[in-house]
Structure 1
């Protein structure tokens, strides 16, 4: 395994999932994100399986995520002009916040608004599509010792019980034992087990760190979608959509927003078909917490680096941000509604 931190392992899992979803099954169009969930539960890796045609319709609303306030406006905006308080359902909080969301939504051109007298009227630009097919949560634990397994079992049991996701998985690094430890731990039987074998391509290994064959399915998960005609309640449906929107806007390469690629020690290194952060001062993959301005080794890029190009295009840190953003856009654009 290349990274020394669970953070690095998490990035490799995200890239593997992006390359080969669905494991041991037919390919499914999906987008991947990380560190998303609710106030009570945060998942390491989140996979949003999408309907390609509906996803293309969602793309028409722009590249940025729609937060919960904007979703309330965009999903319920009427086809014809109407006063926003008549058109939208009661939000359960003061209407002045809805009015602010209306202005933000109009500013992003995802609805239309006009003023008639002292009233603000709205209408939709286009219907908001039902673009999310399924949500899959993956917990990443490369070193599954007994104490980690006990804590993880409780977390996975909570995921199974709440059924906010359609499937839950555990991703762990292969040990080479005849029976992998993950199969011997007391995990919920509804959770799938994905055993990874991320070898170090720089060390002369036969397999690169990430490729389409870098993991095996040791246990298939159960489908957690509620059975029966009622299905999920409206509150849960809305919560799932909020998670999907955040995944759409964030992706999994957004670590450059919380780390310091403008440090002269920060670089990206290839790990097979993945790029992972590397700190030359620590000679390893740093965690997202320690890669900050308070790091003792933090050294800002020299001013001369940041003024390269014409007009001023910035140094390596700005280039890394642009590279990761381009890769995120390329992955979002590759979901083809025509198959």
Structure 2
């Protein structure tokens, strides 16, 4: 286990999912993110299973998230030039906001635009693909006790009832011991249970399936409503752009005490001053231990241009990009 139970464990589960998804049914191409969801429900770990060929076409739209406003434009852009208000479905809000999204989409080369008098016409650069196969929600609770099981039961029940995800899981730490059966009985039978042992770090063999999940997707001949499908795609897009290594964006890698340390096949943030994995709240400029990198670290021959803090960011960004390339290469 990592010193910080909740945050460190979450990062290890994300890395395990990247290495060994699907845990009970064999390898599936997927991308992994964390702390995503809706206003009503935020998931600890999110696994987006993808269609490799369609995912490659999504990659052609760039590395950044296509947000909900842009999705409305990109998905609706026609093959031939047309006035944007004729081409796109009514958004349910004023068209002036759509016009702003049209300009943003064209600025990112997601669509083409031109003026015909005082009218703005658009056409697609390429069709937006149907790249999302399944969405899996994972709740992480390393220390599962009675009160935690009760709270998680309500959260997982919500996941089962709404059907926003195709699978729901609980990941919990065993460190070689059995998960208490009485606690597992508190959870909905539709949720899978992933029993992990990260005492030696994370690798593809660091977890076992203690309970297999049910498929929460609509049955044959049924479909989710369009609003739910759009919400699922928005979550997938945020996962695509963010990944799970984005923790450095809310922490202070420019502190002299910030490090990346290896936990098996994972790299986790570490505070040398506190001797632990810090949370984003702890790793901030208001931390009493915060000490900015000396300027000479960035100007006198440090082997990583810009100093170690910027170097850590580049390492994490490269790893995110490498893992995001992997589903595209799966046959």
SS of residue matched to 1:121: strand
Q: How does 1:312-323 map to 2 (within 5 A)?
A: 313-323=305-315
| Cα offset, 1:148, TM superposition | 1.0
1:177 CA drift (Å): 4.0
Paired residue secondary structure (1:156) = helix
Q: Secondary structure at the match of 2:267?
A: strand
Structure-1 residue corresponding to 2:149: 149
Secondary structure at the aligned position of 2:327 is classed as coil
Which deviates further from its counterpart, 72-81 or 306-315? 306-315
- The yes-or-no answer on 1:43 pairing with 2:58 is no
Which residue of structure 2 lines up, in the alignment, with residue 295 of structure 1? 287
- State the match for 1:71 in structure 2: 71
Give the corresponding residue for 1:236.
228
Q: CA deviation at 1:108?
A: 0.3
Q: Aligned-pair distance for 1:322?
A: 0.5
Contact 1:308/1:315 (CA < 8 Å) preserved in 2? no
The separation in 2 between residues aligned to 1:143 and 1:19, in whole angstroms, is 23
Question: How many Å apart are 1:248 and its aligned residue?
Answer: 0.2
Question: For the residues of structure 1 that align with 2:196 and 2:182, how far apart are their CA atoms?
Answer: 12
**CA distance in structure 2 between the partners assigned to 1:260 and 1:276 by the alignment:** 14
Give the root-mean-square deviation of aligned CA atoms: 1.6
SS of the residue aligned with 1:335? helix
TM-score by length of 2: 0.97
Q: State the 1:335 CA deviation.
A: 1.8
**Structure 2 residue aligned with 1:271:** 263
Unpaired runs of 5+ in structure 1? 200-207
Q: Deviations over 1:273-321 (max 9, x none)?
A: 0000110111010111111111111111111112255999311000000
| Within-5 A mapping of 1:1-339 | 1-174=1-174, 176-178=176-178, 180-181=180-181, 184-199=184-199, 208-308=200-300, 313-337=305-329, 339=331
Contact 2:179 2:195 in 1 (8 A): no
How many angstroms does 1:230 deviate by? 3.4
Secondary structure, in 3 states, of the residue corresponding to 1:298? coil
User: Against the structure 1 CA distance between its residues 137 and 30, is the aligned structure 2 distance closer, same or farther, given a 3 Å change threshold?
Assistant: same
Tell whether the 8 Å contact from 1:141 to 1:173 is kept in structure 2 after alignment.
yes
Measured in 2, the distance between the counterparts of 1:214 and 1:75 equals 40
The 2-side partners of 1:285 and 1:338 are apart by 34
- The range that moved more, 42-51 or 170-179, is 170-179
- 8 Å contact 1:55–1:131 — kept in the other structure? yes
Using the size of structure 1 for normalisation, the TM-score is 0.94
CA deviation after TM superposition for structure 1 residue 228, in Å: 4.2
In the alignment, the residues of structure 1 paired with residue 126 and residue 136 of structure 2 have an alpha-carbon distance, to the nearest angstrom, of: 28
SS, match of residue 230 in structure 2: helix
Q: CA deviation at 1:5?
A: 3.1
Given that 1:174 and 1:180 are in contact with CA atoms closer than 8 Å, whether structure 2 keeps it comes out as: no
| 8 Å Cα contact 1:144/1:181 also seen in 2 | no
- Secondary structure of the equivalent of 2:289? coil
Give the 3-state SS of the residue equivalent to 2:32 in structure 1: strand
Tell me how far 1:26 sits from its aligned partner.
1.9
What's the secondary structure of 2:203's corresponding residue? coil
Contact 1:156 1:168 (8 Å CA) reproduced: yes
Q: 1:136 to 1:308 in 2, by over 3 A?
A: farther
- 2 CA distance for matches of 1:316 and 1:49? 34
Query: Any idea what the Cα deviations from partners look like across 1:165-207, whole Å, max 9, x if unmatched?
Result: 00000000005445535754400000000000001xxxxxxxx
Q: Secondary structure at the match of 2:288?
A: coil
- 8 Å Cα contact 2:175/2:198 also seen in 1: no
